Amino acid sequence: MTLQPPTPFPGPAPAPAQVTFDRRELGAILAVYGRMVAMAEARDYALSFGREAAVFAILRRTMESPLYRLEKRPALRNRQGIYALIGAEGQVLKRGHELAPLLRVIERKLIRAVE
């Protein structure tokens, strides 16, 4: 009777070819974007998917620079957080490991705009 060599453990999963938003993330982002459209704060959005980041940009008009950019960078998972909310001037408004607190920043600004 011959012994077979042990089966090796599988290695780490290969990195995806591109970073994307999953259905839950996209649903939450589109809910906030929908409120912005209803309040006439935004009219368009843009999506960008790359090897290092996925970006959802909220635009006031199609030809303008984004009001907000929501970036998802998995490489920063163990550091500042996977998500970053970037304002129109390029400043980082908030970083985090969860998406909801970043979206609350946009919602607070919408409430102030109404008042």
Q: pLDDT tens, position by position, for the chain (115 residues)?
A: 677 887 777 777 666 688 888 999 999 999 999 988 888 888 889 999 999 999 999 998 777 788 899 999 888 888 888 999 998 888 999 999 999 999 998 888 777 666 6
User: CA-CA distance, 71 to 95, in Å (whole number)?
Assistant: 9
User: CA-CA distance, 17 to 66, in Å (whole number)?
Assistant: 26
- Are 70 and 56 in contact by the 8 Å Cβ rule? The answer is yes
- Are 65 and 87 in contact by the 8 Å Cβ rule? The answer is no
Q: Can you give the three-state secondary structure of 77-106, one letter per residue?
A: CCCCCCEEEECCCCCEEEEECCCHHHHHHH
Determine the 3-state secondary structure of 114 from DSSP: helix
pTM (2 d.p.): 0.78
Amino acid letter, 93: L
**How many residues in total does the chain contain?**
115
**Domains of the chain listed by start with CATH number:** 23-114 (3.90.1150)
